[in-house]
Amino acid sequence: MKKTEKNYYQSLYQVASIMNSERTAESLLHSIVESVAKAMGAKACSMMLLTPDRELLLHTVAYGLSDRYLRKGPIRADKSISDSLKGKPVAVLNATEDERVLYREQAREEGIASILSVPMKLRGEVIGVVRVYTAEPYRFTRDDINFAETVANLGAVALENLRAYDIIQKDYESFRREMLQWRAELGDEWTAEQPVVPAKERGPVIPPGG
């Protein structure tokens, strides 16, 4: 698992391009974890978001991890590499023995040797973590950590932008439906030129008095 600074700059550009092209939260998150794992030459990558009460971390998306590992049990925020939820990146060399790792036996069975856990921040608040897993013991470099942190934070911003985009789209759709209803209620008093409404937007035909 060896990456040069130049490679990470190129990978970061590619990740940013992917983020700008995705239009659903699910596809965006999957693209992030897959891109990070491949760019870093790692076994796997996962993203875990905090529950509203900030007590648990939930595996939101993952790349390269088995379902058995993902369903190993609840992950308490204060027990699982908790320093990363304080805004600090944490590198674990031996995941099967380090007490900061909550499920060490499951890590061994999954073939996980080392873990990098970086905070996912939005406006200064940690909303979750991105974790990178290697199959062989590995000492993460400063370039590794900087890359993972940058992608994690870009992902948080991209998620917020998607949420805002979704709200705008819903507001627009509501406005459009209201306008169509208003125009329909005008009946013959409306303009002589009726709008052409795509078939998929037409509602059921209701006979007069029906």
What fold characterizes domain 5-165?
Beta-Lactamase (3.30.450)
Q: Which residues contact 189 (CB under 8 A, 6 or more apart)?
A: none
Strand segments (E) across the chain = 44-50, 56-63, 75-76, 90-92, 114-122, 125-134
For 41-103, where are the alpha helices, taking DSSP H only? 67-70
Closest to 122 (Cα-Cα) out of 163, 145, 154: 154
CA-CA-CA-CA torsion sign (134, 137, 142, 145):
positive
pLDDT (mean) for 51-68: 89
pLDDT exceeds cutoff 70 at 68: yes
> Cα angle vertex 80, ends 79, 81, to 5°?
115
pLDDT exceeds cutoff 90 at 122: no
Note the residue count of the chain.
210
Count of CB atoms situated within 10 Å of the CB of 111: 14
pLDDT in tens, 5-59: 558 888 888 887 877 776 677 787 888 899 899 999 999 999 988 888 888 888 8
State pTM to two decimals.
0.73
pLDDT (mean) for 109-131: 92
pLDDT in tens, 79-103: 888 889 899 999 999 999 999 999 9
What is the domain partition of the chain in residue ranges?
5-165
Q: At 81, list the tokens.
A: 């590499």
